[in-house]
Amino acid sequence: MKSFFLSLFALLLCVTANSQNDKVDVVSERTDAGFTVKGINNTDIQQEITLTLDVYNLSGYTKPITILIPAKSTIKIVDLTKVPNERNDVKMKFSHKPHPNEAEAKTYNKKIKADLLSQIGASDKGIVVFVKPECSRCTELSTLLKDKSLEFKQLNVKEKPEVNGQMWKLLRTDFPSVKSISMPVVSVDGELFYEIVDLKKFVETLNQKKK
Q: Residue 18 — very low, low, confident or very high, per pLDDT cuts 50/70/90?
A: very low
Q: Does domain 104-210 have CATH number 3.40.630.10?
A: no
Query: Model-level pTM?
Result: 0.63
Percent of the chain with pLDDT strictly greater than 70 = 89
The CA dihedral of 167, 168, 172, 178, to the nearest 10 degrees, is: 130
**Of 156, 154, 101, the residue nearest 133 (C-alpha):** 156
Domains of the chain, by residue range, sit at: 2-100, 104-210
What mean pLDDT value characterizes the chain? Answer: 89
| Amino acid, single-letter form, for residue 171 | L
- 91-127 per-position pLDDT tens digit: 999 999 999 998 888 888 888 999 999 999 999 999 9
Residue 107 pLDDT: 86
Percent of the chain with pLDDT strictly greater than 90 = 75
Residue 2 pLDDT: 46
Please spell the DSSP secondary structure of 69-115, one letter per residue. E-TTEEEEEEEEEEPTTS--EEEEEEEEEE---HHHHHHHHHHHHHH
Mean pLDDT of 24-46: 96
User: CATH topology for 2-100?
Assistant: Immunoglobulin-like (2.60.40)
Residue 21 pLDDT: 55
CB burial string 153-181: b at 16+ within 10 A, e below: eebebeeeeebbebbeebbbbbeeeeeee
> pLDDT higher for 19 or 22?
22
Q: Residue 186 — very low, low, confident or very high, per pLDDT cuts 50/70/90?
A: very high
Query: Which region among 39-43, 79-83, 126-130, 157-161 has the lowest average model confidence (pLDDT)?
Result: 157-161
- 50-88 per-position pLDDT tens digit: 999 999 999 999 999 999 999 999 999 999 999 998 899
Q: How far apart are CA 105 and CA 181, in angstroms?
A: 25
